[in-house]
Amino acid sequence: MTGPEKEQYVKEIAALRERVRYLEEMEKEFATLARALKDSEERYRLLVEKILDGIFIVQDNLVKFPNPSMTDLMGYAAKELGAVPIADLIRPEDRERVLAHYGKILAGANLRGTLTFGALRKGGHEFQAEVRAVPITWEERPAVLCLLRDVTRHVQLESQLQYAKKMEAVGTLAGGIAHDFNNHLQGISGYIQLLMMRGDRDRTEQGWLLQIERSVQRAAALTKQLLIFSRREESRLEPLELNEVVRQAQKTLARTIPESIAAELRLSADLRSIDGDAVQLEHVLFNLGINAKDAMPNGGKIVIGTRNVRLDEAFCRSHVGVKPGAYVELSFTDTGHGMDRETLERIFEPFYTTKGVGSGIGLGLAIVYGIVQSHRGIILCESSPAAGTTFRIYLPVQERAGTAPEKEARKKADYRGAETIIIVDDEPDILDIGQNTLEQFGYTVLMARSGEEAVETYTRRGKEIDLVILDLGMPGMGGEKCLQELLTMNPSVKVLIASGYGRHGLHGETLPARGHAEEGPRGSRRGEGRNPAGGLVR
């Protein structure tokens, strides 16, 4: 090999070695890129496959490239889902709206936000879906990339919250009207009783007065039902055995429902005690029984059951205002004609009824709703046409062990007295009736039309006053502030609260703090529709 050839050979060897080194470096770089690409693909795969929301592409009105969550949500295998027209996955009443939305996105419209509609799983099972969609290019053709989420529970909770707000607003309106209307009824009833006390009327006139009084009492019963619904008629909760309440209510129902309707009790033997108002809970069962009777004109069956249950976090997340814990379930099932969805959504609204004119005023189930709410419980209803109806009431178990208070024997009382009483009320009729009634029984009566006037009178004549009959719902100072002022002047002052308008919690906040104010018997509350004259002197 000549010298130039050898030199050329060395150069070629060096170039070859340089190329080998370059290729080795490129191989290392490609390996690094391959690992990065693999890691990127793995992250992408994990993101797409593990995300709980459904990811898919809509093209040619078909679903393409669905992730596992999408196939799980819709109940199809991936190949099955790809053969189903997108329209068949949408509830019929929503199809036109949803397909129009997709069409606008494909046309280039910048539609932000979400679209909510009824989606259909395999087999026709419906759920509430929320979808976000953006235009993309898939396999070199226009398509829509979608992210779908099951929002059924969210929609249900939102619906429950809106319903609760509506019922609260209706209750506030009904309670306010009932309270004011009840005041007027008390005025009428009081004057009637004053007239009936006079002995210079013949039997015909006395009969007319009795008829007027009966009409007033019927109207008062109606206002009491509205006050129960609005929860201004407080429940008197005490340790209670619900099975005993059910047995007693069943006896009442047996005298009310026809013999063509059979009644069966399925009561748990180890049922836990609750804190409840026996009279109101019997009223619940009675109203449900009347509702069932009307739903079974040709006969049928009623089943009333009780059992211990525990409501878990999952249940409570699906029902607004319910706390997890131990409850007693009271179920009431009938085999009647059932209800459609529209009726089911309104059954607890006051004055809503599907009965004909003169057959009902639509307060029965509203009262049931109000009583259950006042017991810190929840009521659910399951029904469909021709499939009967089931009401399920969940009441919290008794928080502390205890026994029901013993009933005290009533003693005869002499209603005549010589004490001085001041009546504090902003209703002129209440003041007038109270003065006329109490004076007939020998009492000296002072009157104050406001809290300010009561404080002024007590400042001047407090030593003469033996009892203060105090209304809470008054303008100006109001009854609670007046009570505090009276207690400041005389911690031993005797106060009878005679009001149906006091806020809940007054007993636990204001009265025990002083320990000297007294609350009158339930009959003395104007909110109950009882005879005001009789209530004031007891």
CATH fold of 155-229:
Methane Monooxygenase Hydroxylase; Chain G, domain 1 (1.20.58)
The secondary structure of 187-235, three-state, reads HHHHHHHHHHHCCCCCHHHHHHHHHHHHHHHHHHHHHHHHHHHCCCCCC
- Of the candidates 475, 478, 523, 476, the one whose C-alpha atom is nearest the C-alpha of residue 496 is 523
pLDDT band at 274 (very low <50, low <70, confident <90, very high): very high
pLDDT band at 273 (very low <50, low <70, confident <90, very high): very high
Domain ranges within the chain, ordered by starting residue: 1-48, 54-150, 155-229, 238-396, 420-537
Instruction: Please give the pLDDT value at position 413.
Output: 46
pLDDT at 502 over 60: no
- Is domain 420-537 annotated with CATH 3.40.50.2300? yes
pLDDT band at 173 (very low <50, low <70, confident <90, very high): low
Instruction: Please give the pLDDT value at position 136.
Output: 85
pLDDT at 515 over 50: no
pLDDT at 228 over 70: no
Burial (Cβ within 10 Å: 0-12, 13-18, ≥19) of residue 433: buried
Instruction: Please give the pLDDT value at position 202.
Output: 75
pLDDT at 117 over 70: yes
Region 238-396: CATH code: 3.30.565.10
11-40: per-residue pLDDT in tens? Answer: 777 777 777 676 667 666 666 666 665 555
Instruction: Please give the pLDDT value at position 23.
Output: 65
184-227: per-residue pLDDT in tens? Answer: 777 787 777 777 777 666 777 777 888 888 887 777 766 766 66
pLDDT at 336 over 60: yes
Identify the DSSP state of 515.
S
Q: H or E stretch including 446?
A: strand 444-448
Phi then psi dihedrals of residue 409, to 5 deg: -70, 135
pTM over 0.75: no
CATH code matching the domain that covers 54-150, chosen among 2.130.10.10, 3.30.70.1520, 3.30.450.20, 3.30.1490.100: 3.30.450.20
Task: Classify the C-alpha dihedral 408-412-415-418 as positive or negative.
Answer: negative
